[in-house]
Structure 1
Amino acid sequence: MSLIKFVTSKTFLKQLIFAAIGLIVFVFAIMKWLNVTTNHDQKIEVPNLEKMSLADVESKLEDLELNFVVIDSASYNPNFPPKSVIEQSPEAGDFVKEQRKIYITLNPSGYADIEIPDLFGRTKRQATSQLLSIGFRVSSKEILVKDIAKDVVRGLKFNGKELKMGDKVPKNSMITLMLGDGEGTGRYKSATEASN
C-alpha cells in the first residue's frame, strides 16, 4: 500500500480523529486541573494594614489565610504609632491568592541616636548648618556665655544637659547652642572643664 493511499484511507482518518479528540480532552483536563490547584478564580482583597500593630496584622491576615514578612524600617516616622505598619506590599485593595506573603515595614519605636560632632569653636552659622544636616533641630533661643569671641560655639545643650562631642542624642532633638557673647576677657570653660 502506498503512502498516499494509507493517508487517504478510512483507518488513518479514524485514528487521526481519535488522536485529535484525545488531545482536546487531555488539554481540557490539564486546564481544569491547573484552575483547581492554582486557585485561578480565587481573589482575596489585601486589607489596609497601615498604622496597625504587629498583633493586629497577624490576626487580620490569619483570618484571610494570608502570610506576612516583616521588613525593618530605617527611619522613624512620627505620624505613625511606634512599631506599627508604615508600608505594605502588595498595597491595600490589590487582589491575591490565599497563602500569599504580604511584606510589611514597621515604624521603629523612636528616632535613631546620632553622635554629637565636635562643634567647639565653630561659628553659629557653621554649627547650625551641620546640626540641621545630620537631623537635629536648633533652638532659636541661644544661651550666651561670657567669652572673648562673639557668636562662637562654646557648648551645646539638650534638655538642660550640657553635651560633649561623642554623646548620642535622638535624631530630630532640639539642640540649644551656647555662644560666646564677645564681652568676656577669656575663653568660656564648660562645666566639665571647670570641674577638672
Structure 2
Amino acid sequence: MSLIQFIKSKTFLKQLIIAVIGLVVFIFLVMKWLNISTNHNQKIEVPNLERMSLANVEKALEELDLNFVVIDSASYNPDYPKQSVIEQTPIAGDYVKENRKIYLTLNPSGYADVEIPNLYGKTKRQAVSQLTAIGFKIGANPIYVSDIAKDVVRGMKFKGKDVKAGDKIPKNSIITLKLGDGKGSGSYSPNLGGTQ
C-alpha cells in the first residue's frame, strides 16, 4: 500500500480524528488547571494601610488573605504616628491575588540622634549654617554672655541644659546658642567643652 493510499484509508482518518480530539481535550484540561492554580480572574483590592500600626495592618490583611513584609524605616515624619505605615507597595486600590505580599515602609519612633559639631569660637552665622545643615533648628532668642567677641559661639543649650561637641541629640531639636555680647574685656581661650 502506498503512502497516498494509506492517507486516504479509513484507519488513518480514524487515528487522525482521535489525535485531534485528544489534543483538544488536553488543551482544555491544561487551561482549566491553569485557571485554578493561578487564581485567574481573582482580584483583591489592596486596602489603604497608611497611618496604621502593624497590629492593625496584620488584622486588615489577614481578613483579605494577604501578607506583609516590613522593608524599611523612613526618616521620622512627625505628621504620621510613630511605628505606622508611611508607604506601601502595591499602593492602595491596586488589585492583587491572595497570599500576595504587601511591602511596607514604617515611620520610626522618633528622630535619629545627631552628633553636635564643635562650634566654639565660630561666628553665629557659621554656627547657624552648620547646625541647620545637619538637621537642627536654632532658637530665636540666643543667650548673650560677657565676652570680648560679639556674636561668637560660647556654648549651646538644649532643653535648658548645656550641650557640648560630641553630644548626641535628636535631629530637628531646637538648640539655643550662647553668644558673646562684645562687652567683655580681655582675650578668651577656647573652651573645648563648648560651655561657659
Give the TM-score normalised by structure 1: 0.92
Deviation at 1:3, TM superposition (A): 2.3
Q: Distance in 2 between matches of 1:149 and 1:184?
A: 8
User: Is the aligned partner of 1:82 residue 2:82?
Assistant: yes
Deviation at 1:167, TM superposition (A): 0.5
State the secondary structure of the residue aligned to 1:72. strand
- Counterpart of 1:105 in structure 2 is 105
Task: State the Cα deviation string for residues 95-116 of structure 1 (Å, max 9, x = none).
Answer: 1111111111111111011010
Pick closer, same or farther for the CA change 1:188–1:145 going to 2, 3 Å. farther
User: Identity across aligned pairs (percent)?
Assistant: 69
Q: Distance in 1 between matches of 2:14 and 2:20?
A: 10
Native 8 Å contact 2:120 2:190 kept in 1: no
Letter in structure 2 aligned against 1:174: I
List runs of 5+ in structure 2 lacking aligned partners: none
Letter in structure 1 aligned against 2:32: K
Superposition pairs of residues 134-145 of structure 1, within 5 angstroms = 134-145=134-145
Q: Distance in 2 between matches of 1:140 and 1:187?
A: 26
Give the TM-score normalised by structure 2: 0.92
Pick closer, same or farther for the CA change 1:129–1:187 going to 2, 3 Å. same
Pick closer, same or farther for the CA change 1:184–1:155 going to 2, 3 Å. same
Q: Distance in 2 between matches of 1:127 and 1:193?
A: 12
Task: State the Cα deviation string for residues 11-31 of structure 1 (Å, max 9, x = none).
Answer: 223222221221111011111
Q: Distance in 1 between matches of 2:133 and 2:116?
A: 12
Pick closer, same or farther for the CA change 1:140–1:194 going to 2, 3 Å. closer
State the secondary structure of the residue aligned to 2:125. helix
State the secondary structure of the residue aligned to 2:27. helix
Letter in structure 2 aligned against 1:152: V
Q: Distance in 1 between matches of 2:155 and 2:14?
A: 99
- Counterpart of 2:188 in structure 1 is 187
User: Is the aligned partner of 1:9 residue 2:9?
Assistant: yes
Task: State the Cα deviation string for residues 126-164 of structure 1 (Å, max 9, x = none).
Answer: 111111111111122111111111111111111111111
Q: Distance in 2 between matches of 1:123 and 1:184?
A: 16
Pick closer, same or farther for the CA change 1:50–1:177 going to 2, 3 Å. same
- Counterpart of 2:161 in structure 1 is 161
List runs of 5+ in structure 1 lacking aligned partners: none
**RMSD (Å), alpha carbons:** 1.9
Task: State the Cα deviation string for residues 21-59 of structure 1 (Å, max 9, x = none).
Answer: 211110111110111111112111111111111111111
Superposition pairs of residues 165-176 of structure 1, within 5 angstroms = 165-176=165-176
Deviation at 1:7, TM superposition (A): 2.7
Native 8 Å contact 2:120 2:194 kept in 1: no
Native 8 Å contact 1:145 1:188 kept in 2: no
- Counterpart of 1:147 in structure 2 is 147
Q: Distance in 2 between matches of 1:193 and 1:52?
A: 43
Q: Distance in 1 between matches of 2:172 and 2:89?
A: 28
- Counterpart of 2:51 in structure 1 is 51
- Counterpart of 1:24 in structure 2 is 24
Pick closer, same or farther for the CA change 1:130–1:152 going to 2, 3 Å. same
- Counterpart of 1:177 in structure 2 is 177
